[in-house]
C-alpha cells in the first residue's frame, strides 16, 4: 500500500524562482502535449503514446529556439508531467469503456497559471539529507521534519499553495 507524507519546506528566494520556473516548464510541456493529443484526435488519428510525446515535447523541444529554456530545469519533472498526462488519458479511456470503477472520468484539461502549482520528481530527482532536501538543478532546501519516514520514498511532489507556502509530499510503500 502507498502512503503520502507531507512536510513543509523553506526555499530561499533564488530557489523560489527556480521552483517557479520548474512549475512553469511542467505546465508548458503538459499543455503542449495535451494540445497535440487533442489535435490528433480531431484529425481522427490514434492516441500518440507516451514515448512519442516525450520525444516530441521534451527532447526535440529543447533543441528549438522557442523552447530551449526547458534545458534549465530537471528533465525528470518534465518526463513525469508527460507520464501524468498519459495516466490521465488511460483513466479517461478506461472510464469510457466501463473498465474503471466509480464515476466517469473526464478527459484531461489544460493547466492554468494559478496560485497552486506542483511538480513531481522520481528517485533520481531528489535526495534526502538530515536537515534538507536536495532537488535536481535547484539545490538543498531546508525541510521541517515533523515525523520520520517509514521507508525510502519512491517519488516526491513539490507543492506551492495559494498562500505561497511550499510543501514536499513523499510517496512511501508501506505494509
Confidence (pLDDT) at 130: 87
> Could you state, in chain order, the average pLDDT of each consecutive group of 10 residues for the chain (175 residues)?
96 97 97 96 92 95 94 96 95 91 92 92 94 95 95 96 96 93
Contact present, 134 and 140 (Cβ < 8 Å): yes
Candidates 118, 156, 117; CA nearest to 134 is 156
Using one digit for the tens of pLDDT, what is the confidence trace for 130-147? 889 999 999 999 999 999
Confidence (pLDDT) at 150: 93
pTM to 2 decimal places: 0.93
Residue that the C-alpha cell 472520468 belongs to: 105
The secondary element (H helix, E strand) that includes residue 122 is strand 117-122
Q: Half-sphere exposure of 152 toward its Cβ, with a 13 Å CA cutoff?
A: 6
Confidence (pLDDT) at 100: 87
Rounded Cα gap, residues 92 and 58, in angstroms: 23
At a CB cut-off of 8 Å and minimum separation 6, what does 134 contact?
A: 126, 127, 128, 140, 141
Rounded Cα gap, residues 18 and 9, in angstroms: 14
> Coil, helix or strand for 68?
helix
Confidence (pLDDT) at 82: 97
DSSP string, 9-34: EE--HHHHHHHHHHHHHHHHHHHHHH
> Coil, helix or strand for 114?
coil
Order of all β-strands in the sheet with 126-128: 117-122, 155-160, 166-173, 2-10, 139-144, 132-135, 126-128
CB neighbours (10 Å) of residue 1?
Answer: 6
Amino acid at each position: 500500500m502507498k502512503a503520502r507524507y507531507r512536510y513543509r519546506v523553506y526555499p530561499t528566494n533564488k530557489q523560489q524562482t527556480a521552483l517557479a520556473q520548474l512549475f512553469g516548464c511542467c505546465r508548458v510541456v503538459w499543455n503542449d502535449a495535451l494540445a497535440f493529443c487533442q489535435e490528433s484526435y480531431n484529425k481522427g488519428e490514434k492516441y500518440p503514446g507516451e514515448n512519442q510525446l516525450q520525444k516530441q515535447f521534451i527532447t526535440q523541444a529543447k533543441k528549438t529556439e522557442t523552447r530551449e529554456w526547458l534545458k534549465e530545469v530537471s528533465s525528470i519533472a518534465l518526463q513525469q508531467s508527460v507520464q501524468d498526462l498519459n495516466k490521465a488519458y488511460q483513466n479517461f479511456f478506461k472510464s469510457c469503456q466501463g473498465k474503471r470503477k466509480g464515476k466517469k472520468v473526464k478527459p484531461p484539461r489544460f493547466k492554468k497559471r494559478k496560485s497552486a502549482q506542483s511538480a513531481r520528481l522520481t528517485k533520481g530527482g531528489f535526495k534526502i539529507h538530515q536537515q534538507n532536501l536536495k532537488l535536481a538543478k535547484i539545490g538543498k532546501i531546508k525541510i521541517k521534519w515533523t515525523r520520520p519516514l517509514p521507508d525510502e520514498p519512491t517519488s516526491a511532489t513539490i507543492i506551492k499553495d495559494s498562500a505561497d507556502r511550499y510543501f514536499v509530499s513523499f510517496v512511501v510503500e508501506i505494509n
